[in-house]
Amino acid sequence: MPPSNNPLQRYPAGFEGLLEHHLDGLYRFALSLTRQSAEAEDVLQDSVLKGLEAFGRFEAGGNFKAWIFAILMNTFRDRYRRLQRQALRELPLDSLLEAPSVGEEVFDLLLKEEVLAAVEALPLDFRLAVHLVDLEGLSYREAAQVLDCPSGTLMSRLNRGRNLLKVSLADLALDRGLLAGEVDQQGRRP
């Protein structure tokens, strides 16, 4: 008997059952992208709706986590582009020189505030790579698919992000007296 094309028969837990295991990670990722709780919730909600609508096209045996994270990333990109176009149409030219305000919310209560702040301080490309691989546990290939970049690019971003974290956290450890001596620019003690 050929496999069913109905995703509910292929996945007895259904979309909701699969999604349930990833909601916290998806929210943390959305918050890492948006840096604002309300905006993260909106992106997550839009992503869940898109995922539910597209679930019939989800490949049997596919990686649901990578698939739903990719939907969230694409939803964020679409939303960000739309908001940018809208903001440019609505703002007077002199206001384009003002820096945007950024929320300072912590997205994961289980991580120490300082480590989380160090991750959040990373440039966006590095922050997203570190978040997907180190915090969410996606493979390099899966994270590269989510970010729509080659695996080599993802690995480079991840390496650079980790190195920046190493330096940042080494400075923090020195400030707190947790490390004796100084560290070089790569976070190593001379």
Q: Which CATH architecture has domain 96-190?
A: Orthogonal Bundle (1.10)
Integer Cα distance of 40 and 26 in angstroms: 9
Q: Which CATH architecture has domain 1-89?
A: Orthogonal Bundle (1.10)
Query: Whole-model pTM?
Result: 0.59
Mind giving me the DSSP string for 47-103?
Answer: HHHHHHHHGGGSPTT--HHHHHHHHHHHHHHHHHHHHHHHHHHHS-GGGGGSPPP--
- Confidence (pLDDT) at 75: 93
Enumerate the CATH 1.10.1740.10 domain ranges in the chain, comma separated. 1-89
Record the tokens describing residue 31, joined without a space.
Answer: 């918050």
pLDDT tens across 132-162, in order?
998 888 999 999 999 999 999 999 999 999 9
Look-up of token digits 């690019």: 153
Enumerate the CATH 1.10.10.10 domain ranges in the chain, comma separated. 96-190
